Structures are given as structure tokens and as C-alpha cells.
Amino acid sequence: MSDSRRPSVSILMSNYCGEAYLAAAVGSVLRQTHRDLELLVIDDGSSDGSVPLLRRMAAEDPRLRVLEMPANGGPAAARNMGRDHARGDWIGIVDSDDLLHPGRIAALLAGAEQTGADMVADDMVFFGDPATAGRTLLEGGGHAAGWVSASDFVHSDLLGRSLGYLKPLIRREAWGDVRYDEELRIGEDFDLCLRLLLGGARYKLLPSPTYLYRRHASSISHRLSTEAIAGMIRSHDATVGMAERVEPREALLGQMLERRGRVLQRRLAYETLVATIKARSAGSAGLQLMARPAMVVDLGRSFLENRARRRQQAGEAPAEASPVTLVLATDGKLGKTPAPEEAVRIPLPPGLPEAATLGEQRRLAQRLARLHAEASLDVIAVGPEGRAALGYLPGWRKARLLVDEDEAHGHDLPEDCALEVAPA
């Protein structure tokens, strides 16, 4: 891509010491069926091998642009830097340890074109952590595909299934000159999207499960520092002021924001109590409990959760699972594909993903995420449907894609997946 031609899509990916997962994340963006894109990876002062790895990958694909922060500034600062360099008509965010289905960006663009949305996002499927692998954010979370108002967005945060976790594509004109709040180290996406909604952006949710969200030990903990929560309260208060100016008659939004403010204040009080207890200041902790007696219940719950976590960590590490052969093919080819007798065979709907129903796509994505968490997989994928199914599978020990001779061209596969022409 020449510097003079603007791509239709810019993807921003901030990275801090994410070398272990970075190549897979970058590759999943560059292998999109929508080729007219650029990927800007903003390295936020990494001390591992992230930057040399990115430079090697950029030398092989000019659509990858590597930007380096002068010092660690946090994800918001890194994304602002990427936004300043982005040239696309649409701008999206992808985390440096997550994965995209190859058809994701094309599907989001199609959905935006059909609906006239300024922001469009899809469902995310959790993988990596066996306890949550296969869950999705939208399913069972009280959310439905459709238009998202500012009230809906805030309400999702109160439900504990925040739509702020989603990674939308955003129309450049709708984004405008809005900046990430660089003082936020967590919740920066929620804050930005809410301000865009208050500014009039139209946000559409699509139910397709094409964003794979990694859960692992080095992910940001649910335990927040008092400084992080104080920052969230400050940004929340600023948003309340903005809402009162732009939508003064929106009673429901006002109620949702008021409730969220109370929740954040309770979280700040609890984390302050925890910090006080750790500092062994019994008198001060007692005064805080007298002011908010309900925090005794929170302390008990936290104690039980920590004890269960310590027991799990103290237990013996599970033995490495034996490889499981997984066959992915349509019904007509499933039984004909040579594989061990004990292989797991999953039938694929013909025409996946375009001709598959949403339920078929979601069930497949969920099952593959669970299998990935439970076993080491040797995968045999067959035909174009098999190729599409590989996009829902977070990883494997080894994989082969079997295609007919007339299908042997145009496949952009990961390096650890071999392409083979099936015998006639």
C-alpha cells in the first residue's frame, strides 16, 4: 500500500510486553478477507522482544506499521498515538493478545453499510481460561443485537457484562477529535465509546461471534487499585456533566449514571478498606467498616475466593493432555476424511459462515473454544467450510486444511497450518 492511498480500515493495537501472543494477534488481523486495511501496532515501552518481532513482521507485510511510545504511557495514550497516525475511513481496536475470525472486518463493514451505523461491534467468545472458555459476552448477559443507546451502554456496566469490553469499528467522521482519557489505565474504551454515544454516534451490535477474547493469568485483574477507581470516578463525573448538557431530558440515562456513580464509590470504599487492612491499620479499618457495614459481606466473599484460588494454585499441575484429533467438515465429507477412530468429528453447516445461522456459528465457536481449553488438538479441516471453522479455533498443536484441486488457491493460512490437495 503506497503512503498516498488511504486504506478503508485502520486497526489500532496497543502492546506492552505481549510478545507471547503478539504474532498470533497480528496475523489474525493481516489475514482478514477484507484486505484493504492497515494495522498500527503501538508498542508502549515493552522490555521483551515485541519490537524486534513486529519489525520482522512489518518487513513482510507493508500494511503493518509499528509505532513506538517514548515511554510507557498506558493503553489510552498508545491508542491516541495510533489514532493520530490512522488513515482509514473506519478505525477499530484489537487487543494484542486477542484473535479475529478472518471474516470479521468484512462482516462489520457490511453491517454498518446496511444500517448506516457510526459504530458497529460483534460478540466476543472467551478462550484460554478453562473456567470461562466458550462463553460469550452477549449471550445470557441481558444484551441483544440491535441499536445501543447511551442508557443501554451504561446499564450493561451495572449488570457486570459491560459493552465497553467490545471492540467496535468506528467511522472516522463520528470519532472526530475525541481523545482517549490518558489518565485512565482501565475502562478507557468504555469512557471513549460513551462519550461518542453522547455526541450522537449511532451504535449497532451484530450477534456474530467473530472476536476471540483471551482470558489468561496476565490479563488485567478484577482487583483494581484505589488510584484506578479514582480515575474512573473522575471520568464518570465528567461524563455526567456532558450528559446533562447534551441530553438534559433523558431521565433513564440520568438514573443509570447516578447508579453507576454509587457503584464506583462503593468500589473505591472497599478497595480503600482492603489497602488499610493490608497496612495493618486496625483502627482505621474499623472506622471504615462502621461507616459501611455491608462491606463485611464483601470481605467474606473475597476471603473465600482467595482461599479457593490459593488451593487451586497449590494443587498439582494437571498432566499434559494427550493430543486429540479434531475433524472439521460438512456432513458429506465428515465420515470420508481419514482420521483415527477416536477422533472428534464436528459437522459444519454448508456455506459456513455466510449460509450458516447465527445459532450454528455461535455453537461452533463456543464448542471450539472449549475444546481448545481442554485438549491439545491435531486438526484436519476440510474445504472452505473447514477454513472458516479454523477461524473460530484459537489454536492447535498442528493443523491441515484439505481442499479439492480447484480450491487450492487463495487461502491465507497461519504458518502452523499446512494446505493439502485432497486426492480425487
Cell of 328: 472439521
- Residue 217 has a pLDDT of 59
* Residue 382 DSSP class: E
Q: Which amino acid is at 311?
A: R
Q: Could you tell me the mean pLDDT of each successive run of 10 residues in the chain, 424 residues long?
A: 76 97 98 97 97 98 97 96 98 98 97 97 95 89 78 94 96 97 94 96 95 77 78 95 82 93 94 87 84 83 69 52 91 94 96 93 97 96 96 97 87 91 77
Tell me the C-alpha distance between 294 and 404, whole Å: 65
- Top-level CATH class of 9-214? alpha beta
* Residue 136 DSSP class: B
Closest CA to 87 of 22, 27, 2: 2
- Residue 221 has a pLDDT of 43
Q: What radius of gyration, in Å, describes the C-alpha atoms of the chain?
A: 23
What would the DSSP string read from start to end of 137-159? SSTTTT--SEEE-HHHHHHHHHT
Is the CB of residue 333 less than 8 Å from the CB of residue 402? no
**Pairing outcome for strands 376-382 and 398-403:** parallel
Is the CB of residue 43 less than 8 Å from the CB of residue 12? no
**Pairing outcome for strands 119-121 and 203-205:** parallel
- Residue 424 has a pLDDT of 64
Closest CA to 417 of 342, 405, 391: 391
Question: Alpha carbon of 382 to those of 228, 326, 388: distances in Å?
Answer: 48, 11, 10
Is the CB of residue 213 less than 8 Å from the CB of residue 125? yes
Closest CA to 156 of 184, 116, 117, 197: 197
Q: Is the pTM of this model over 0.85?
A: yes
Tell me the C-alpha distance between 203 and 352, whole Å: 26
Closest CA to 326 of 339, 310, 336: 339
Tell me the C-alpha distance between 333 and 83, whole Å: 46
Torsion of the alpha carbons at 291, 296, 298 and 300, rounded to the nearest 10:
160
- Residue 320 has a pLDDT of 61
Omega before 414 cis (within 30°)?
no
Domain boundaries, the chain: 9-214, 226-314, 323-421
